[in-house]
Amino acid sequence: MILRKAIVEDIPQIQLVRNMVKENMLSDPALVTDKDCEEYLTKRGKGWVCEIDKRIVGFSIADLKDKNIWALFVHPEFEKKGIGKKLHDIMLQWYFDKTKETVWLSTAPHTRAEKFYRRAGWKEAGTHGKGEIKFGMNYIDWKNKL
């Protein structure tokens, strides 16, 4: 298993992972374009991938501009192996090395993702979009988890 910074050339495999998930699926895969991914990776923030046998099996992307987690997804065949936690932690460490401002994300209720974020110390902060739960993580809570 290799964790490394995501690069533009990873976008096709990132899109494959994003569109294979069983929860928090996109209603229309065309809503997240390759150009969107490139902007988040190169201008708005940074991303990471997990590679196994030269295949991307998970990825995460933090957005400094809007102070949110834009993506954290693991291919269904590789769930429950700690990949999501590793991608989560490297992403948040980078984020809080860059800024001490609270970061937020949203996810559908009653999902494994909701449970994952609660276990990781995220605090519920209302709703977002079409009934998603909005979570926040502040710098102090993150540092206290380490």
HEC per residue, 80-142: CCCHHHHHHHHHHHHHHHHCCCCEEEEECCCCHHHHHHHHCCCEEEEEECCCEEEEEECHHHH
The residue written with tokens 């932690």 in the block is 89
pTM strictly above 0.85:
yes
pLDDT of residue 121: 95
CA distance 4 to 48: 6
* Average pLDDT per block of 10 residues along the chain, 146 residues long: 97 91 60 89 97 96 96 93 96 97 95 94 92 95 87
Task: Kindly report the number of other CB atoms within 10 A of residue 58's CB atom.
Answer: 25
Domains and CATH numbers, the chain: 2-145 (3.40.630.30)
* Cα distances (Å, whole numbers) of residue 16 to 10, 29, 56, 75: 10, 10, 9, 9
pLDDT of residue 124: 96
